[in-house]
């Protein structure tokens, strides 16, 4: 069917209709005043320019971007391919979500478009086909048959008036010679056709709807006039801006700008107009009443058939609400991001705090272990082993200790390697300790008493620290990528330096490692100094002990041995003593005693007591051991030379005939009884006499007892440290001692019996003295 036209309408191939002019920005109000006629003539010229084509970027970058959400359906058609390349939201609602690009006839069929007689539009004379051929369509009514079920289609055939009627208008967008040729198609809703509707009234309604029903403001400017003034604006422009037609036309549209309009956006817009290229931007503009609104503006240059610029078509949309929503969204997003960032920072801070707490806890645990481990020994070699075990491999791959004397001279070294390369380390120790250059970290720590961190050891560093080629080569073979040296300082004295070395280049020492190593070195140095002080006291104690406990004299017919153990951890001295005397009349004097106490004071008192005993026994008038002990008791209390003490003194007289028994007389001042081991190994308890402790009662009269000692028997005297056990009485302890002596071989010597008597009791808490005499 021929296309539907209204009477008096200009042919579509010659001049665009007022509807087309409205879409392009033309004035559609019917007015016969001269001024209005002149304006309409200008509009017709502009519309002709629009029909002649625009730069294709304007279609892609300007109109589709602005028209996407307007209430009228809009298509962009590629003339060369005859396909729909763009459909806005309203157009998608017509045809459904048809996959683009799609041939125009296919799109029309998908939308359900027919002519007014329900004939399909798939023919060359249909409005879509004409627009696809690059020809303008002033306006043509088409019928829209929405997608329906079979029952709905049969009902629609019975009642054609139930279909929707649309008005189709379109014109080319592309300039001649451009890389692409595009056209724009717009569908506007018409009232349902009927006999009672006047065609002219229907056309007028269409015109009004085309201009007023959309929220889009169209403007046309004339760049051929001075300052590129507006030559036409549509009513939507007036509605949006508040400026009527008469106050807008003839002025450059910059009058919409205000104090807060972004000047960069204005400059970009001005440059695009100077370059005659399409531009889309969003500006903060101002209405006539001074209120601000966000204006999304797309400007497209329009060229005539000769390629001359004749106008700019502007499409404006009030996007204030969109901008506000976008700003709210951005603010919400920023708030959410800030909250997320704060949460992440809080989480990171919590993780960092947890890691720091774990590090601190690990550090405290290491320090606690170091304190308990290093303080549990008084042997320097054992201390070095314990320190090395704490360092390797927990803190370093290998460790090197350099110890100096009071003059700063190296006197000892210690080392440990994670791979057990002790021989190479020992060789390095000999070479390096003998030649410590001033620049070496060890020498610097010894001199300054400060730690030295070499986080990354370079070949130059190694050559400087180890000037001897052999030493440097040894160090490289052992491996060293990072090192720390810390001084070993205790009680204001530098005892040495500790070097920690890491061989893995991926692991570097940090300042935190320096702090940890320094804490460890302080504890190690204190433990080392304690061992040093103990060894000094030990030397003093040994000297004192040798002076207090005599060397046993050689007495004919007597084989003697003695043993002493101190319970003091400060010095190996105590209050226990023993003595063996070769008396002037040929008899043998035997003494064993225990002064109350376990320290140097007790040892000193024991020395006084032993001296008094020797003096009293040497010139005793009646040679009675009980009387000797009584005299000693009186001297001790009178001279205040010792606290209380237990003691046994015995006098052994030689046998009257060779091979006969010895005659032993004993006096006891509260001391455990002696034991006699027979030739056959049996043990007898000599408990026939007892008395008060020395220092209790000076007037106490002490008794004596006499026993015979067979030749070959052994007399064993001891102190209570040998028989006292926690939770046991003395009788059980004496029985255990007797059992140990009986378990010794029959031919055991007095020295062997001393060893058996002492045993290896780890719970011993008292000093121990034991002396064994074999009578020949």
Which of residues 633 and 353 earns the better pLDDT score?
633
pLDDT of amino acid 204:
53
pLDDT (average), residues 627-631: 92
Per-residue DSSP letter, 408: S
Is residue 703 within 8 Å of 646, Cβ to Cβ? Answer: no
Which of residues 452 and 505 earns the better pLDDT score?
452
What length is written for the chain? Answer: 776
Q: Which of 511, 539, 567 is the last residue of a domain?
A: 539
Q: Report the CATH number that the domain containing residue 485 is assigned in CATH.
A: 3.30.450.40
Which of residues 529 and 161 earns the better pLDDT score?
529
Q: Report the CATH number that the domain containing residue 651 is assigned in CATH.
A: 3.60.40.10
> What residues contact residue 463 under an 8 Å CB cut-off, 6+ apart?
472
- Laid out side by side, the sheet with 714-718 consists of 558-565, 768-775, 714-718, 674-677, 683-686
Residue 333 located in a structural domain: no
Residue 423 located in a structural domain: yes
With a cut of 90, say whether residue 748 has pLDDT above it.
yes
Q: Report which listed range, 155-159, 375-379, 511-515, 536-540, is most confident.
A: 511-515
Helix (H, G, I), strand (E, B) or coil at 325: helix
Query: Quick one: what percent of the chain has pLDDT higher than 90?
Result: 27
* Nearest to 282, CA basis, from 225, 326, 329: 326
Segment among 587-596, 674-683, 718-727 with least mean pLDDT: 718-727
Residue 563 located in a structural domain: yes
User: Distance between CA atoms of 739 and 97, rounded to whole angstroms?
Assistant: 109
Segment among 5-9, 157-161, 265-269, 396-400 with least mean pLDDT: 5-9
Which of residues 582 and 698 earns the better pLDDT score?
582
Q: Residue 741: give the domain boundaries.
A: 549-775
> What residues contact residue 244 under an 8 Å CB cut-off, 6+ apart?
238
Q: For the whole prediction, is pTM greater than 0.85? A: no
pLDDT (average), residues 531-542: 76
pLDDT of amino acid 760:
74
pLDDT of amino acid 63:
53
With a cut of 50, say whether residue 14 has pLDDT above it.
no
pLDDT of amino acid 25:
32
pLDDT of amino acid 58:
39
SS3 content of the chain, % helix, strand, coil (to 5): 40, 25, 35
pLDDT of amino acid 70:
61
Residue 217 located in a structural domain: yes
Q: Specify whether 469 is located in the same domain as 615.
A: no
pLDDT (average), residues 499-528: 89
Q: Specify whether 566 is located in the same domain as 534.
A: no
Q: Which of 506, 539, 572 is the last residue of a domain?
A: 539
Q: Report the CATH number that the domain containing residue 112 is assigned in CATH.
A: 3.30.450.20
Which of residues 408 and 199 earns the better pLDDT score?
408
- 653-679: per-residue pLDDT in tens? 999 888 899 999 999 999 999 999 999
pLDDT of amino acid 487:
93
Q: Report which listed range, 29-33, 462-466, 666-670, 766-770, is most confident.
A: 666-670
What domain count does the chain have? 3
Which of residues 445 and 236 earns the better pLDDT score?
445
Q: Specify whether 510 is located in the same domain as 558.
A: no
With a cut of 90, say whether residue 310 has pLDDT above it.
no
pLDDT of amino acid 255:
94
Dihedral angle over CA of 193, 198, 204, 205, nearest 10: -40
pLDDT (average), residues 60-73: 57
Tell me the two tokens of residue 303. Answer: 């060229």
pLDDT of amino acid 730:
87
Q: Specify whether 531 is located in the same domain as 643.
A: no
* Nearest to 549, CA basis, from 533, 537, 568, 566: 566
Q: Which of 288, 318, 348 is the last residue of a domain?
A: 318
Ordered DSSP codes for 173-228:
-BPTT-S--EEEEEEEEEPPP-TTS-HHHHHHHHHHHHHHSSS-EEEEE-TTSTT-
- 362-399: per-residue pLDDT in tens? 777 778 888 888 888 888 888 888 888 888 888 889 89
Q: Specify whether 194 is located in the same domain as 300.
A: yes
pLDDT (average), residues 451-476: 88
Bond preceding residue 101 cis, omega within 30 of 0: yes
Helix (H, G, I), strand (E, B) or coil at 232: strand
pLDDT of amino acid 650:
96
Q: Specify whether 277 is located in the same domain as 385.
A: no
Segment among 50-59, 133-142, 472-481 with least mean pLDDT: 50-59
User: Distance between CA atoms of 152 and 146, rounded to whole angstroms?
Assistant: 10
pLDDT (average), residues 285-313: 85
Q: Specify whether 485 is located in the same domain as 608.
A: no
pLDDT (average), residues 54-74: 53
Segment among 25-39, 106-120, 386-400 with least mean pLDDT: 25-39
Q: Specify whether 647 is located in the same domain as 750.
A: yes
Residue 357 located in a structural domain: no
Q: Specify whether 142 is located in the same domain as 189.
A: yes
pLDDT (average), residues 417-437: 83
For the chain, give the mean pLDDT: 79
pLDDT (average), residues 25-34: 31
Q: Specify whether 420 is located in the same domain as 521.
A: yes
pLDDT (average), residues 538-543: 70
* Nearest to 253, CA basis, from 323, 296, 314: 314
Query: Quick one: what percent of the chain has pLDDT higher than 70?
Result: 81
Q: Report which listed range, 72-81, 117-126, 680-689, is most confident.
A: 680-689
Residue 10 located in a structural domain: no
Residue 492 located in a structural domain: yes
Distance of CA 97 to the CA centre of its chain: 52
Residue 690 located in a structural domain: yes
Q: Specify whether 88 is located in the same domain as 205.
A: yes
Q: Specify whether 261 is located in the same domain as 385.
A: no
Which of residues 732 and 217 earns the better pLDDT score?
732
């Amino acid at each position: 069917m021929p296309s539907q036209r209204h009477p008096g309408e200009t042919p579509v191939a010659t001049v665009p209709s007022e509807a087309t002019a409205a879409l392009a920005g033309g004035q559609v109000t019917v007015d016969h005043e001269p001024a209005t006629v002149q304006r309409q003539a200008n509009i017709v010229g502009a519309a002709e320019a629009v029909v002649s084509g625009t730069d294709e970027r304007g279609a892609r970058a300007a109109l589709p971007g602005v028209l996407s959400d307007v209430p009228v359906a809009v298509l962009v058609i590629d003339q060369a391919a005859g396909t729909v390349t763009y459909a806005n939201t309203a157009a998608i609602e017509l045809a459904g979500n048809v996959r683009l690009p799609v041939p125009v006839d296919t799109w029309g069929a998908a939308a359900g478009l027919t002519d007014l007689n329900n004939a399909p539009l798939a023919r060359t004379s249909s409005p879509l086909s004409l627009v696809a051929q690059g020809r303008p369509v002033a306006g043509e009514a088409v019928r829209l048959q929405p997608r329906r079920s079979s029952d709905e289609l049969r009902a629609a055939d019975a009642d054609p008036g139930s279909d929707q009627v649309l008005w189709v208008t379109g014109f080319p967008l592309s300039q001649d010679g451009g890389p692409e040729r595009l056209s724009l198609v717009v569908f506007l809703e018409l009232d349902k056709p009927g006999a009672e509707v006047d065609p002219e009234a229907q056309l007028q309604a269409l015109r009004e709807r085309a201009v007023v029903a959309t929220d889009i403001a169209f403007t046309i400017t004339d760049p051929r006039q001075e300052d590129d003034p507006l030559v036409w604006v549509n009513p939507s422009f007036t509605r949006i801006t508040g400026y009527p037609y008469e106050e807008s036309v003839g002025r450059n549209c910059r009058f919409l700008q205000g104090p807060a309009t972004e000047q960069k956006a204005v400059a970009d817009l001005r440059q695009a107009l100077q370059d005659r290229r399409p531009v889309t931007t969003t500006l903060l503009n101002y209405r006539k009443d001074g209120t601000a609104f966000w204006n999304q503006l797309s400007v497209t240059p329009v060229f005539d058939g000769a390629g001359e610029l004749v106008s700019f078509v502007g499409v404006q949309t009030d996007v204030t609400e969109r901008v506000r929503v976008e700003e709210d969204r951005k603010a919400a997003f920023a708030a959410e991001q800030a909250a997320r960032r704060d949460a992440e920072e809080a989480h990171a801070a919590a993780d960092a705090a947890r890691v720091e707490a774990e590090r601190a806890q690990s550090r405290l645990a290491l320090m606690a272990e170091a304190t308990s481990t290093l303080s549990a020994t008084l042997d320097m070699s054992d201390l070095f082993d314990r320190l090395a075990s704490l360092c390797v491999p927990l803190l370093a791959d290998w460790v090197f200790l350099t110890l100096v004397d009071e003059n700063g001279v190296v006197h000892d070294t210690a080392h440990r390697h994670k791979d057990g390369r002790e021989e190479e380390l020992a060789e390095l120790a000999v070479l390096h300790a003998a030649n410590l250059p001033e620049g070496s970290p060890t020498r610097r720590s010894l001199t300054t008493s400060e730690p030295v961190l070499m986080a990354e050891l370079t070949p130059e560093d190694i050559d400087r620290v180890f000037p001897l080629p052999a030493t440097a080569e040894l160090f490289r073979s052992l491996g060293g990528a990072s090192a720390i040296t810390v001084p070993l300082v205790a009680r204001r004295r530098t005892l040495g330096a500790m070097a920690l070395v890491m061989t893995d280049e991926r692991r570097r020492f940090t300042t935190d490692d320096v702090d940890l190593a320094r804490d460890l070195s302080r504890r190690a140095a204190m433990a080392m100094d304690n061992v040093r002080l103990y060894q000094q006291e030990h030397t003093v104690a040994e000297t004192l002990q040798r002076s207090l406990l005599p060397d046993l004299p050689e007495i004919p017919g007597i084989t003697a041995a003695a043993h002493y153990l101190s319970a003091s951890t400060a010095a190996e001295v105590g209050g226990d003593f023993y003595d063996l005397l070769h008396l002037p009349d040929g008899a043998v004097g035997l003494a064993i005693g225990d002064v109350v106490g376990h320290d140097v004071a007790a040892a000193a008192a024991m020395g006084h007591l032993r001296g008094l005993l020797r003096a009293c026994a040497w010139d005793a008038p009646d040679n009675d051991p009980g009387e000797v002990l009584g005299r000693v008791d009186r001297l001790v209390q009178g001279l205040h030379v010792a606290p209380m003490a237990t003691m046994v003194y015995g006098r052994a007289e030689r046998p009257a005939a060779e091979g006969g028994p010895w005659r032993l007389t004993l006096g006891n001042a509260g001391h455990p009884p002696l034991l006699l081991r027979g030739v056959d190994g049996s043990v007898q308890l000599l408990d026939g006499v007892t008395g008060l402790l020395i220092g209790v009662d000076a007037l106490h009269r002490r008794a004596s007892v006499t026993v015979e000692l067979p030749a070959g028997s052994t007399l064993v005297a001891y102190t209570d440290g040998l028989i006292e056990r926690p939770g046991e009485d003395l009788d059980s302890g004496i029985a255990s001692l007797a059992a140990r002596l009986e378990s010794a071989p029959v031919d055991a010597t007095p020295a062997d019996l001393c060893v058996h008597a002492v045993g290896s009791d780890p719970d011993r808490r008292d000093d121990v003295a034991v002396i064994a005499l074999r009578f020949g």
